[in-house]
Amino acid sequence: MRPREAAELRQSSCIKAIEEFRARLHMLEQDLKNTRDELLDLYKNMPQAGTPEYEERQDKIAQLSRWLAALDVAHAQALPTLERMEASAARKERKAKARRPSSSSRCARRSTIRATGATATPRSPSS
């Protein structure tokens, strides 16, 4: 595998990883929204205090509150991770571009070859 191909492969795998991470982050954000909505629904029309329904609802609210806190922490940690991944991909892309000759230099070489009439020398067959 050529160095350029290897760099492109690393870049594409980096982009895939970012896309997958964004998809998981989106699912996490959706889970946060759903959990908040569920908590809001539980708080609405609370039954009378002291009833079994009230106790069940309080238990469910406590469980969802803990889950929501865990989701919030995961989300707070995921955002900087995504930013680091994107910054790393951007650095890799800049490095890859710096290693590639610019299109203007390729064009200049082609015009020099045309102007001088240079041609590629055919290889002699190995016998």
Q: Collapse the DSSP code of 117 into the 3-class scheme (helix H, G, I; strand E, B; otherwise coil) and give the result.
A: coil
Average pLDDT, the chain: 81
Structure tokens at 16: 């895939």
The proportion of the chain whose per-residue pLDDT surpasses 70, expressed as a percent, equals 70
Q: For the chain, which residues make up each domain, given as ranges?
A: 3-100
- Look at residue 26 and tell me whether its pLDDT is greater than 90: yes
Q: Cα torsion at 98, 100, 103, 105 (round to 10°)?
A: 90
The pTM score is 0.62
Residue 126 confidence class, pLDDT cut points 50, 70, 90: low
Share of the chain above pLDDT 90, in %: 52
Backbone angles phi, psi at 117, to 5 degrees: 75, 20
13-42 average pLDDT score: 93
Buried b (16+ CB within 10 A) or exposed e, 57-80: beeeeeeeeeebeebeeeeeebee
Cβ-defined contacts of 37-41 (< 8 Å, 24+)? 38/64, 39/64, 39/65, 39/68
